[in-house]
Amino acid sequence: MREDREARVALWCRRVRDAARDIASGLGRRDREPGAPLRDDWLLELSGYRHAAVAAELGREIDERLTARMAAPDVAPWSQADHDLAYVLVHALGRLQLPESVPPLARWLAATRDPALAVEAGIALCNTRRPEAEGALIHARDHWGMNSETWHQIGRFFVRVPQGRANGATPSTAPEYVERGLVRNQRGDLDGAIADFTAAIALDPHHAMAFNNRGNARSDKHDLDGAIADFTEAIAIDPRHAMAFSNRGITRRDKGDLEGAIADFTEAIALDPGDSRALTNRGNARCDRGDLEGAIADYTQAVALDPRLAMAFNSRGNARRAKADLDGAIADYTQALAIDPRFAMALTNRGTTRHDQGDLDGAIADLDHAIAIDPGHAVAYHNRGNIRAKHGHLDGAISDFTQAIALDPRYASAFVNRGHALEAQGNLDGAIADYTRALTIDSRLAIAFNNRAGARLATGDHVGALDDYAQARHLDPRSAIFAFNRGNVLKATGDLKGAIVDFTEAIALDPRFAMAFNNRGLARLDSGDVDAALADHDHAIALDATCWQAWWNRGLALLRLGRREEATASLSRGRELAPAVDQARLGGILRDLLGR
């Protein structure tokens, strides 16, 4: 029996070596046998050989084929075969969940300079579910940066590692409290982390990093004012604390203080001109402010400093998309994914941009992939929901918005868009409830007031609708559609003078708003100003010759003026352009108007 077991283990180790040679030679080579194992086939097989000797064999392959190569002075670009080999070896070790799995994974994680490879190694270490993995993961966190995209992807799996330092001996010094606080923070124990950082501060009131870290934990708890106070204290203790300036800038941006955020990022960059992440963050704040050229300049400088900074390419893609440079945006998202194939946000953004270009299949494929990589990625569900809603798949859209909300209960836009989908299904009460929930999260969300007004109007609540439109206009006085919508309610309630004022303001904000001219014309017609009404309808048709309402209403104005022949032609043209569902009804009205 013992001999049989030893033979079986020896066979398993030989299969590890066979797999490594096969994958390293390239799984796509022409001389491979048909039906030979593919990458995931090898991973599944090797993961089943749960023995310390197999873990040691996998470790030797990693040390000899990967870690030693990465340590060479000049590392040649990695091929697809190299990436496939790294993927299979590290994930097989992780799935074995043996103590022997940890050291080679830790060595590889410490050696690799590639963010994507680091993510795979870090996730594999988390999958060992061994307490021994905690130290290597904390080292990786400190190396890549707690706020880096690389650590963000690894950190989501950190909870799989049994608690070590977080539940060890009670700290006795400020640095020990800080270290335990960082571990608790990473595990999602924000209250415990804040308590540890506070204890560190009590022992050492001049510990700038303790204030900085407590600020991060408070920010994660949405205590933005408390976070800013902590970052400010860290800066007072150490005026050259570039990280504290950056973190305060991030929090100020979260609060909407873009000028303060830009000032903080600028100071962080002055203190550390090589800080590519501060440049990226300043670019994000500039983008929010509408300074797209300034944002793109920051992102471009960031990738010049760090050509592997995937999030800078992703952010530059966002700025280019805002400038309607969709090809440039997709190129940037694709570059971000070449650097980090597991960058779910870049996949989400590329998918959304592909939809903008009319590539529905490509858009859904990217968003599906983003969700597969990161099932907790609320934005991917939200954006896929938007695409489904636009194509009439309302049930699927509502399901996606609901999942986004479950993942992020403060996702105001997801409530707004689910409300819009519910409204399209005729569920007005559900829609109003969602718009109201969005406003409890963000009381300055003008679109939520606008949409709730529309739903209230559909229920006959004209007073509530007018109040909501007034709020929307107050929050966004440059929106032509908000002025237009309130004008429609005022007209429906008989306030023709007020309606004309709102339609006029909508036209001033958007001189090419054909329906605003049409509806002002109707209000003027109802108030007896027929010549002005006719001028508005003519203007609407000049802007949009397919606007059937403008042709029809122009005909009504011409009838009032006694110009029957012109009226007949205009009314007939309006009926021809109208949707098929309206043509029979309009035909009957036309016969009644003309006495036929």
* Pairwise CA distance, residues 550 & 506, whole Å: 17
Q: 204: phi > 0 → left, psi -120 to 50 → alpha, else beta; which? A: beta
**Type of residue found at 593:** L
String of b and e for 120-135 (b: at least 16 CB within 10 Å)? bbbbbbbbbebebbbe
**Type of residue found at 234:** A
pLDDT in the model for residue 75: 57
Name all contacts of 306-310 with Cβ < 8 Å and 24+ positions apart.
Answer: 306/276, 308/114, 308/115, 308/339, 309/276, 309/277, 309/280, 309/339, 310/115, 310/149, 310/335, 310/336, 310/337, 310/339, 310/340, 310/343, 310/346
Mean pLDDT (10-residue bins), the chain, 596 residues: 78 93 89 88 92 92 80 68 90 93 90 84 93 86 77 85 69 89 86 95 94 94 95 96 93 94 96 90 95 97 90 96 96 93 92 95 95 92 95 96 96 97 96 97 94 95 94 93 93 93 95 96 95 95 95 92 92 91 85 75
* Pairwise CA distance, residues 138 & 117, whole Å: 17
pLDDT in the model for residue 3: 67
> Widest CA span of the chain, in angstroms?
109
Does the predicted model carry a pTM greater than 0.75? no
pLDDT in the model for residue 73: 56
* Pairwise CA distance, residues 358 & 349, whole Å: 14
User: Under CATH, what is the fold of the domain 1-162?
Assistant: Leucine-rich Repeat Variant (1.25.10)
* Pairwise CA distance, residues 127 & 91, whole Å: 8
Sequence ranges of the chain with CATH classification 1.25.40.10: 513-596
Sequence ranges of the chain with CATH classification 1.25.10: 1-162
Using CA atoms, how far residue 577 sits from 13, 533, 550, 586, in Å, is: 75, 20, 10, 11
User: Under CATH, what is the fold of the domain 513-596?
Assistant: 1.25.40
Exposure on the CB side of residue 399, measured as CA atoms within 13 A: 5
513: helix, coil or strand? coil
pLDDT in the model for residue 187: 81
Torsion angles phi and psi, residue 465, rounded to 5: -65, -45
* Pairwise CA distance, residues 315 & 278, whole Å: 13
| Residue 459 DSSP class | T
pLDDT in the model for residue 576: 92
Which stretches within 206-241 are classed as H helix? Answer: 208-220, 224-237
No. of helices (H) and no. of strands (E), the chain: 34, 0
* Pairwise CA distance, residues 459 & 479, whole Å: 24
By the 8 A CB rule, do 151 and 116 touch?
no
String of b and e for 185-209 (b: at least 16 CB within 10 Å)? bbbebbebbbbbbbbbbebbeebbb
* Pairwise CA distance, residues 471 & 479, whole Å: 12
Using CA atoms, how far residue 409 sits from 440, 449, 496, in Å, is: 12, 19, 42
* Pairwise CA distance, residues 512 & 516, whole Å: 9
Using CA atoms, how far residue 327 sits from 292, 316, 384, in Å, is: 16, 12, 20
* Pairwise CA distance, residues 323 & 4, whole Å: 68
Name all contacts of 497-506 with Cβ < 8 Å and 24+ positions apart.
Answer: 497/527, 499/523, 500/524, 500/527, 505/480, 506/480, 506/481
pLDDT in the model for residue 19: 93
By the 8 A CB rule, do 203 and 174 touch?
yes
Task: State the burial class of residue 71 (Cβ atoms within 10 Å of its Cβ: 0-12, 13-18, 19+).
Answer: exposed
Torsion angles phi and psi, residue 306, rounded to 5: -140, 90
